[in-house]
Amino acid sequence: MQQPHDEHPHVPGPSLWPIGFAIGVVVLLVGLIISPWWIGGLGAIVALGFAFLWVRDLTRGTELTHAPEVAPESAAARPAAAHEAGSPPERYPRAKFLELSTLGLGGVIGGLVTVPALGFMVLPPFLKQGFKDIDVGPLSEFPEGKFVIVTFASDPAEASVSRKTAFVRYNGPQNGQPSFTIISNHCAHLGCPVQPNGPLDQAHASEYKGSAIIPTVSIAGFGCPCHGGQYDTEGNRTAGPPVRALDRYSFSIRNGNLFIGKPFSVSRVDGTGATATIHKWTFAYPGEHVSGLESWLYPIQPPH
C-alpha cells in the first residue's frame, strides 16, 4: 500500500513562531547573567509561549497514522492449518527460542565485559578521595595581622603536581585559642590562582618540610589574572565574575605547629579577622553557587 505522506517532503508550513521562541531564549540567557532577575523569567515565559504556539502549528493538520492492524484471522488460522496437516502446534518455536537465547547470552557476555570496564573508568575518581592534614610549620612563622603565602603539597605521594597555595593570616588569640584565616588561592570563578594585591617580603621567604612560605608586606586583597575577579582580604568578591567568596581551609594546631585541613566553600564573610561570621558550605568546585536560588542547580556534590 502506498503511504500518502511518501509523496511529499516532510516539510512543515511556514511559521513565524520560531522567531518569537528564539527571542525568548535569548532574553532568558541574557537574563541569567544580568540583573534584575525577572528578565530571565520574562524570557522563559516568552520562549514557552512561542514554543507552545510553534508546536501547535506543527502538529495541526498532521493526522496520526495508525499501523494497519493485523487481520485477526491470519494469526488464528495458522495453528489450525498446522493441525490439519497432522503436526502438533508449536507452543514455542525453536527459531524463536534460538533467537532469544542468542540475544540473551550475548547481552550477558557483553555486560560481563563492559560493566567492570566502565566501572574501572568511572568510579576511581570518586573513591578514596579526601584531604590530608598538612603540617605547614610552627605558629611563630605567622605574624599577627599579616598574610603569609604557603605553598604545600596536598598529597605528599603525588608531590609537586598536588601543590596548593593558601593565604594564611594569624588573627591573634580568640577566646584563648589562636585564630587563623586560611584562604584558598583557587578563584571562585573558574579556578585560576588568585594573587595577592600588594608587595611580598621575598627576603624572608623560607621553607618548611617542602612547603614554600613567603610573607607579604601588606596586601589590599586578591586578584585573579585570568578573568579579573577581585576579592577583599576576607575573600569576599568585590568585582568581576566570581560567583561566591574564596574558599577557605579548616586548620588544627598540634604541638605548636599549624596544620592545614579540609577546604570548605564560603558564600560570604561578614566582619573581619577573628570575629568574622563565615557563611560556610560544603566544598564545591569553582563556578558553582553555594547559596541562593542558583545553588539548586548543584544539589549533590561528589565525594571530594
Contact set with another protein (CB under 8 A): 7-11, 122, 124-126, 129, 154, 158, 161-162, 164, 190-193, 226, 284-288, 297-302, 304
Shortest distance, position 163 Cβ to another protein, whole Å? 9
Nearer to another protein, 233 or 284 (CB): 284
Shortest distance, position 7 Cβ to another protein, whole Å? 7
Count of C-beta atoms within a 10 Å radius of residue 222:
25
Nearer to another protein, 75 or 121 (CB): 121
Q: Which of 230, 231, 253, 266 is nearest to 180 (CA)?
A: 253
Residue 94 phi/psi, 5-degree rounding, is -60, -40
Q: How many whole angstroms separate alpha carbon 201 and alpha carbon 22?
A: 55
Nearer to another protein, 208 or 298 (CB): 298
**Helix residue ranges, H only, 123-252:** none
Nearer to another protein, 280 or 304 (CB): 304
Nearer to another protein, 146 or 280 (CB): 280
Shortest distance, position 113 Cβ to another protein, whole Å? 17
Nearer to another protein, 164 or 237 (CB): 164
Residue corresponding to grid cell 577566646: 175
Shortest distance, position 283 Cβ to another protein, whole Å? 9
Shortest distance, position 183 Cβ to another protein, whole Å? 17
Question: 269 CB contacts (<8 Å, ≥6 apart)?
Answer: 234, 235, 236, 245, 276, 277, 278, 279
CA distances from 303 to 125, 183, 193, 212 (A): 9, 21, 23, 29
Shortest distance, position 197 Cβ to another protein, whole Å? 19
Count of C-beta atoms within a 10 Å radius of residue 282:
11
3-state secondary structure at position 295? helix
Q: How many whole angstroms separate alpha carbon 174 and alpha carbon 154?
A: 27
Shortest distance, position 246 Cβ to another protein, whole Å? 14
Nearer to another protein, 80 or 159 (CB): 159
Query: Do the beta carbons of residue 241 and residue 227 sit within 8 Å?
Result: yes
Question: Which burial class, exposed, middle or buried, applies to 290 when counting CB atoms under 10 A from its CB (0-12, 13-18, 19+)?
Answer: buried
Shortest distance, position 303 Cβ to another protein, whole Å? 9
3-state secondary structure at position 118? helix
Nearer to another protein, 13 or 72 (CB): 13
